[in-house]
Amino acid sequence: MTSKPVAFLMADLGVTKTHSRPYVSDDNPYSESQFRTLKYRPGFRIASASIQDARAFCLRFFPWYNDEHRHSALGLMTPAVVHYRPSPAGPAARQAVLDARLPGSSGRFVRKAPRAPELQQEVWINKPPDSAEKSQ
């Protein structure tokens, strides 16, 4: 990340190089979280895999990750649903299904009825302070 060719490539692609700490390129929690999911997926072999095996695995992994895997930070929806078919009724529809199943599951939820997770409106790695917080 400190070599001139990489910096020039990033500039040519319009990518702004940023680091929360100088010269640290591996502190992105989103990438780390996604990589952890990749490592623990059945069939992942890093030690004995060839480049062809790795490509074949990724051709299966990324469609699963984007179209089938439900993310807790996305209200247990898939990235494809959130990014390509956004619907304000998504969480409400999930809650309607939970509410419809509740009468038939007596004794299962003794403390409170299940709630569908909320979809986060924004996500930050290092959220800049609000102007109100700056003045205090």
**The model's pTM:** 0.56
> How far is it, in rounded angstroms, from Cα 77 to Cα 127?
24
pLDDT at 67: 92
Read off the pLDDT of residues 47-98 as tens digits, 9 standing for 90 and up: 667 888 888 888 999 999 999 998 877 778 888 888 887 666 677 777 888 7
Distance of CA 31 to the CA centre of its chain: 9
Read off the pLDDT of residues 88-132 as tens digits, 9 standing for 90 and up: 667 777 788 878 877 766 677 777 778 877 777 776 666 777 755
Other Cβ atoms closer than 10 A to 77: 22
Q: What is residue 104's DSSP assignment?
A: G
Q: What are the residue ranges spanned by the domains of the chain?
A: 41-104
- 48 exposed, middle or buried (CB, 10 Å; 0-12, 13-18, 19+)? exposed
For 136, half-sphere exposure in the C-beta direction (CA atoms, 13 angstrom radius) is 5
109 vs 23: which has the higher pLDDT: 109
Other Cβ atoms closer than 10 A to 123: 9
